[in-house]
Amino acid sequence: MCGIVGYIGDKNCVPILIDGLKRLEYRGYDSAGIGIVRENDAIVVKNKGKVSLLEEKLVEQNLNSNLGIGHTRWATHGIPNEQNAHPHTNSKNNLFIIHNGIIENFQVLKNALIKLGYTFESDTDSEVFAHLIDSFLNKGYNLSKSVQMALIEVDGTYGLAVIYTLEPDKIIVARKGSPLVIGLGEGENFIASDVSAILAHTKQVIYLDDGEFAEVSINNFAVKTIEDETIEKEIHEINMSLDEIDKSGFNHFMLKEIMEQPESVRNSMRGRLQAESGSAKLGGLTDVVDRLINSKRIIISACGTSWHAALVGEYMLEQYARIPVEVEYASEFRYRSPIISSHDSFLVISQSGETADTLAALREAKNKGALALGICNVVGSTIARESMAGVYIHAGPEIGVASTKAFTSQLVVLALITLLISKRKGISKTKAVELATELNAIPKKIEQILNLNEGIERLAKDFQNAQNFLYLGRGYNFPVALEGALKLKEISYIHAEGYPAAEMKHGPIALIDENMPVVFIAPKDSTYGKVINNIQEVKARGGRIIAIADDADGEIDEIVDYTIKVPRTIEMLTPILTSIPLQLLAYHIAVKKGLNVDQPRNLAKSVTVE
């Protein structure tokens, strides 16, 4: 969601901050700002809208400083405007802060600060930090101690960075529930909410954990707990390159990432899939595999697109591993007194590894004694660090807000886990080899689908003015219907709903007329005949039908208006293939509507608040 970047060193920080904020734009935001120290004065420049507008302001002012912090804000408290943008300052204008997260007791703190004579300029909860820290500075404490004492007063989540002009040799940062890293350089150091913001300058980082704060200077850093206990932190080397977070000639990150799926899927299974023997090797699960296999139940928890992947995983694991599986919305899980025991395995899925609701669900499961596992993409993320074991999907950086390649890689990893468990539980070698062989062939089949891009773009032209869409699928492809509808909603702002195809008769059929496009996911699987019946029901009511079908299926062409053909595969793996045309359809409809597909309105890549 909101983005943080900071610099202390011997260079002009302004271009470094702007470059970092640009690399954080994919996270979603509605305003931006920077704060710097120049000749012991605090200078804050901010505005509503894009970082490019902020950059124009800064060029006009020709600012130069060796110390500064920058922020992109995704509105929670207070509308998007310049007043509510970060940084926020104290009344003396000698301290400024940037903050990701939510202060849950901000109104109580704000009322107390107003009684002390403080005046608030914004509608945000974040401004409380500036005045609260200032209140402790006024009592004679130094900056580090003042921040520490302020944090004790605050209930909620934060990724926090603070600069004080009277101590211009440091940045104070703190983390609880919102990611922060410290980047280490030669005669300079950096802070950021995401390593992509500082990747151009360093690949050595320190990940802060919840309940930690740090003092960062030009040549050093010191990390403590809020209770003042010194902590030794491990330095991590980032293997990502700048090329991976550039568009590489594509018009949008989303299209680039759709087109990367043959390679991202290969990377997800590389060194793990053993096709000839029909087995999978997942090093991240080695120490817990016996407990996982003997689980009485597997619970999978996630949000958004990852939740749709979890639904497919439920089908996979129940069919082949024969373990009962439940799929839970992470945002609801811990609020309903869930029954969990040490006999359960609890698996969370998150692209970013920082999703607040998913992380909270993971912690709840750990506290109740379950085997807590993670599937995520971002190495070093909080979920990766707090899981008892897990699997990285290795999809590479995903910058587009609407997830594409991470989704298909999540499905691949779930298939590998299914293969691993089912092989150990006695699935026949013939069936195991069939599953593994088909999985090994998936990247080539994705390449065939991507060759349909131009045809899908032409099809999109016929639907760019649609007001509603219905997506229908059965079995393994019901979650694909949900995901296809979500993609269209996210980036085109067209209302779309996904349903099990048989549920259409229980309500949604009332919506169908000649103006309603209906997308059927209809590969020739065990539900094919039933789906054809559902297609006939829509056709009888004048609906405009798009079918995602097998490339050898000539029958379906006779009864639908449009077809997009995908290669045949086994039923368990069809969602990996059938989801990709729906990604392209949503992308091209949104582009033809003139929308920003990489940064859709109101959305954030990493949702770090409830």
Amino acid residing at 424 = R
Identify the residue whose tokens are 């997830």: 403
Identify the residue whose tokens are 């209302």: 495
Q: Are 566 and 446 in contact (CB under 8 A)?
A: no
Task: Kindly list the structural domains of the chain, giving each domain's residue range(s) and its CATH number in brackets, ordered by start.
Answer: 3-241 (3.60.20.10), 247-451 (3.40.50.10490), 452-605 (3.40.50.10490)
Write a three-state SS string for 309-327: HHHHHHHHHHHHHCCCEEE
Q: What's the token pair of residue 39?
A: 């000749």
**CA dist list (Å): 248 to 255, 257, 574:** 11, 10, 29
The pLDDT tens digits for 225-279 are 998 899 999 999 988 777 677 788 899 999 999 999 999 999 999 999 999 999 9
Q: Distance between terminal CA atoms of the chain?
A: 11
From the list 332, 327, 486, 461, the residue with the least C-alpha distance to 403 is 486
From the list 580, 578, 596, 597, the residue with the least C-alpha distance to 528 is 578
**CA dist list (Å): 144 to 126, 133, 223:** 18, 10, 11
Which sign, positive or negative, has the C-alpha torsion 20, 23, 25, 28? negative
CA 453 to chain centre: 25
Q: Give the start-end residues of each E strand in 523-608.
A: 544-550, 562-566
pLDDT at residue 178, rounded to an integer: 84
Q: What are the residue ranges in the chain where pLDDT is below 50?
A: none
pLDDT at residue 380, rounded to an integer: 83
How many Cα atoms are found within 13 Å in the side-chain-facing hemisphere of 390?
A: 29
336 Rama sector, left if φ>0, alpha if ψ -120 to 50, beta otherwise: alpha
For β-strands 297-302 and 344-350, DSSP reports them as parallel
Contacts of 311 (CB under 8 A, 6+ apart): 327, 478, 479, 482
Q: CA 592, CA 240: separation in Å to the nearest integer?
A: 33
Question: Residue 461, class by beta-carbon neighbours within 10 Å (0-12 exposed, 13-18 middle, 19+ buried)?
Answer: exposed
> DSSP H helical segments within 62-92, as ranges?
none
**Composition of the chain by helix, strand, coil, percent to 5:** 40, 25, 35
Helix (H, G, I), strand (E, B) or coil at 252: coil
From the list 157, 197, 133, 165, the residue with the least C-alpha distance to 38 is 165
pLDDT at residue 566, rounded to an integer: 97
pLDDT at residue 609, rounded to an integer: 58
Backbone angles phi, psi at 419, to 5 degrees: -65, -45
pTM: 0.81
Write a three-state SS string for 138-150: CCCCCHHHHHHHH
**Cis, peptide link before residue 567, omega less than 30° from 0:** no
E strand or H helix at 520, and its extent?
strand 517-522
Q: What's the token pair of residue 552?
A: 């050898």
E strand or H helix at 161, and its extent?
strand 158-164
**CA dist list (Å): 402 to 308, 358, 460, 597, 606:** 13, 18, 18, 8, 11
Amino acid residing at 345 = S
Q: CA 484, CA 520: separation in Å to the nearest integer?
A: 10
Give one DSSP letter per residue of 330-385, joined into a string: HHHHTTS-----TTEEEEEEESSS--HHHHHHHHHHHHTT-EEEEEESSTT-HHHH
321 Rama sector, left if φ>0, alpha if ψ -120 to 50, beta otherwise: alpha
pLDDT at residue 43, rounded to an integer: 93
For β-strands 371-376 and 389-392, DSSP reports them as parallel
449 Rama sector, left if φ>0, alpha if ψ -120 to 50, beta otherwise: alpha
Backbone angles phi, psi at 88, to 5 degrees: -110, 145
Cα angle 349, 355, 358 (rounded to 5 degrees) comes to 55
pLDDT at residue 605, rounded to an integer: 61
Active centre residues (catalytic): 2, 605
The pLDDT tens digits for 279-328 are 999 999 999 999 999 999 999 999 999 999 999 999 999 999 999 999 99
Helix (H, G, I), strand (E, B) or coil at 428: coil
Q: What's the token pair of residue 68?
A: 């500064």
pLDDT at residue 161, rounded to an integer: 97
pLDDT at residue 513, rounded to an integer: 84
Helix (H, G, I), strand (E, B) or coil at 297: strand
Query: Taking every pair of C-alpha atoms in the chain, what is the biggest distance, in angstroms?
Result: 81
